[in-house]
């Protein structure tokens, strides 16, 4: 049976009630996990209050600011985990960012700055968070990230984020190979397109969703809850033999050639 009782789960990437991370946090909580939440701090404190209010029903025992580009904040996050929880069992990496000009038009137009920023936030952050989580996963653990088929095949406008997802998926394999000896499993979910704050920045997201609704075997795209259910499974002992994998939760879209 799916049971995460006694597991401490740190969830990154909740911005609002459309966030995939919100779907994941709810399903981890429903399975009995003790939830901790990080949010992206901004000057006016808007995310802090909005996200704080949203996650209240999950009674998070930890709620901390963490901009993954800020090494001191990343370290402080895991210091707090150590201090409050002692050990960490589950890390959900569910965040990405690319500036608008990295997500539309000709791919080769992207600036070095925009390219580097997208790769740093969306791919390197999995490495730095996993590095900080590793010593706290003293009883083994599960690290999970979110990716998209645009990291494997060319999707119009996904552009630089596709390169970031390709790097992210390879990070999953190298991290899984390194951490397996500590019984830490590292996997990714490749989700079908869902309307969120981040996906709205990708040019033509609605066309992408309609295309999937026409072509995918299930003739629809997926929900945050479906992604959350698979996340809960992958982070549970039911998935104890799975590591280094990218699991598609996309209504079957990825298998189609036309
Ligand atoms: P979202 O906008 O709800 O979530 C993105 C999150 O990234 C936000 O919470 C934001 O605060 C966070 N973030 C951005 N920059 C950050 C930084 N520097 N430090 C810390 N956090 C930062 O959108 P989402 O669609 O739920 O995205 C979550 C993940 O799912 C992303 O990795 C995205 O690429 C992936 N994904 C999304 C879709 C989709 O169609 N929505 C499909 C496949 C994969």
Q: What are the pLDDT digits (tens) for 91-109?
A: 999 999 999 989 989 999 9
Collapse the DSSP code of 239 into the 3-class scheme (helix H, G, I; strand E, B; otherwise coil) and give the result. helix
Residue-wise pLDDT tens digits, 188-237:
999 999 999 999 998 888 999 999 999 999 999 999 999 999 999 999 99
Is 45's pLDDT higher than 90? no
Q: Residue 21 — pLDDT band, cuts 50, 70, 90?
A: very high
Structure-model confidence comparison of residues 258 and 115, the more confident one: 115
CA 124 to chain centre: 13
192: left (phi over 0), alpha (psi -120 to 50) or beta: beta
Q: Which of 206, 212, 174 is nearest to 191 (CA)?
A: 212
Residue nearest to atom 10 of ligand 1 (CA): 13
224 in ligand 1 pocket by Cβ < 6 Å?
Answer: no
Is 46's pLDDT higher than 90? no
Backbone φ and ψ of 141, nearest 5°: 180, 180
Structure tokens at 181: 């000896």
- Predicted confidence at residue 203, as pLDDT, reads 83
Ligand 1 atom at shortest distance from the alpha carbon of 161: 34
Cα separation of 211 and 258, whole Å? 11
Question: How much distance in Å is there from the Cα of 97 to the middle of ligand 1?
Answer: 7
Question: How much distance in Å is there from the Cα of 13 to the middle of ligand 1?
Answer: 6
Structural domains of the chain, with CATH: 8-251 (3.40.50.720)
Question: How much distance in Å is there from the Cα of 125 to the middle of ligand 1?
Answer: 12
Structure-model confidence comparison of residues 105 and 33, the more confident one: 33
Helices vs strands, H then E, count in the chain: 9, 7
Spatial contact of 257 and 228, defined as CB atoms under 8 Å apart: no
- Predicted confidence at residue 88, as pLDDT, reads 98
Mean of pLDDT over the chain: 97
189 in ligand 1 pocket by Cβ < 6 Å?
Answer: no
Question: How much distance in Å is there from the Cα of 209 to the middle of ligand 1?
Answer: 17
Spatial contact of 236 and 3, defined as CB atoms under 8 Å apart: yes
- Predicted confidence at residue 244, as pLDDT, reads 99
- Predicted confidence at residue 229, as pLDDT, reads 98
- Predicted confidence at residue 20, as pLDDT, reads 98
69 in ligand 1 pocket by Cβ < 6 Å?
Answer: yes
| Catalytic center residues | 148, 158
Instruction: Look up the pTM and report it.
Output: 0.98
Residue nearest to atom 21 of ligand 1 (CA): 40
């Amino acid at each position: 049976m799916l049971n995460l009782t006694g597991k401490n789960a740190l969830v990154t990437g909740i911005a609002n009630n459309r966030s995939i991370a919100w779907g994941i946090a709810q399903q981890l909580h429903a399975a009995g996990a003790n939830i901790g939440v990080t949010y992206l701090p901004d000057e006016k404190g808007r995310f802090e209050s909005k996200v704080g209010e949203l996650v209240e029903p999950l009674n998070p025992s930890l709620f901390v600011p963490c901009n993954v580009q800020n090494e001191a904040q990343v370290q402080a996050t895991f210091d707090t985990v150590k201090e409050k929880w002692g050990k960490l069992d589950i890390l959900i990496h569910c965040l990405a960012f690319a500036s608008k000009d990295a997500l539309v038009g000709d791919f080769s137009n992207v600036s070095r700055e925009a390219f580097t920023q997208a790769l740093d936030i969306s791919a390197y952050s999995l490495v730095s968070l996993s590095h900080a989580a590793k010593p706290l996963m003293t009883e083994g653990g599960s690290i999970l990230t979110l990716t998209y088929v645009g990291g494997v095949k060319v999707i119009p406008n996904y552009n630089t984020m596709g390169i970031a997802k390709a790097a992210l998926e390879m990070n999953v394999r190298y991290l899984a190979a390194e951490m397996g000896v500590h019984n830490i499993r590292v996997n990714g979910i490749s989700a079908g397109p869902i309307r969120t704050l981040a996906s709205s920045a990708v040019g033509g997201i609605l066309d992408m969703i309609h295309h999937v609704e026409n072509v995918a075997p299930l003739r629809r795209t997926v929900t945050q809850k479906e992604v959350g259910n698979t996340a809960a499974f992958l982070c549970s002992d039911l998935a104890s033999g799975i590591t280094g994998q990218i699991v598609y939760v996309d209504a079957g879209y990825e298998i189609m050639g036309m």
